[in-house]
Structure 1
Amino acid sequence: MRDDALVVGGLVVPEVLTRLIRSGRWQAPPAESPVYRAVFGDEADLPSFYGEAKILRENASWQRLTVDEVFGDPAAGGPGVDPARSVVIADLGPDLPVVLDHRLTADDPRVLYLGPHGWTVIAPNAAALIAQLPIAPPPPP
């Protein structure tokens, strides 16, 4: 792990996303942007892509929730989520979180979204999510 890694509850945020966050480029497109329907399969209400301070603040309580409290049971359909093994990085509005799911791999977590049809995988990793969004690339390391 790099010395400058962003670590949230013991989970490392991928370097490409950390660079965007720390450079101020991890910003939500306007709510009316068609990117939300294209990427997340949903409309945005009050989208927010979190800065470092908000990620740390939001995840302090998120990671203490139980699987049942976040509709996380995979048996209910979809991938489910384990708050203790995930990091909330954004939301499209109240109760519409976007998370890094570290259950399959700690190094390159997939990205999940809790929309109207439950948890869905929206990208295999943070780099793939970023490539789908109208965000300037992160500065080089």
Structure 2
Amino acid sequence: MQINGLDLPGALTRAIAERRWRRPPLDVLRRVFRESPVAVHLYDLAAMRAANRRWLEEKDPAYFGHLDDKKPPGDIDPARSLLLGILGPHMPFALDYRVASDRPRVLYLHSGGDRWITVAGDVEQLLARLQLDEHPRSR
């Protein structure tokens, strides 16, 4: 499955199909994202498509961050990324395809609004860290 010409990782499409892609407990979110989320929403496929159509048209430089050699990446390219959800107003998290198109890393926009931070090396790692990597019946 593709959105904006980018392939969604199979682990993500499986998690969505199996209804594992849902809001984890707040303490888990805080530990993973190192933020205090206020209005968490993990996009389903329809919302992902809509959000990413708008993402390609985004013009506000505040959303793009700044390259940070000391704590990469710092920035993001809307044409090489897909939004997965939000942690709150102006706090999206996304797949970043710039390093590896077959295993995009996961970034989030720091609440300060000027820096994208790596939260997981790939979707599988994100699902594990959010405790969404198992089918609900097996818990």
Output aligned runs, 1:97-116, within 5 Å: 97-116=92-111
1:57 paired with 2:50, answer yes
What secondary structure does 2:57 align onto? coil
Output aligned runs, 1:14-29, within 5 Å: 14-29=9-24
**CA offsets, 1:87-131, max 9 Å, x none?**
001111111101000011110000000022521000000000001
Greater shift, 71-80 or 86-95, is seen at 71-80
The 4+ residue runs of structure 1 with deviation greater than 2 A are 64-69, 75-78, 136-139
Counterpart Cα distance in 1 of 2:13 and 2:57: 23
**For residues 38 and 85 of structure 1, do their structure 2 counterparts lie closer, same or farther at Cα, with a shift above 3 Å needed?**
same
Which position in structure 2 is the counterpart of 1:9?
4
**CA offsets, 1:43-88, max 9 Å, x none?**
1101011100000010001022258352333159641100111000
What secondary structure does 2:46 align onto? helix
- TM-score, normalised with respect to structure 1: 0.84
Counterpart Cα distance in 2 of 1:123 and 1:20: 16
Give the residue type in structure 2 aligned to 1:126: V
Identity of paired residues, percent?
A: 36
What secondary structure does 1:87 align onto? strand
Which position in structure 2 is the counterpart of 1:70?
63
1:135 paired with 2:128, answer no
1:44 paired with 2:41, answer no
Q: What is the RMSD computed on CA atoms of the aligned residues?
A: 2.1
Q: Does the CA contact (< 8 Å) of 2:91 and 2:109 recur in 1? A: yes
Instruction: Structure 2: state its 5+ residue gaps.
Output: none
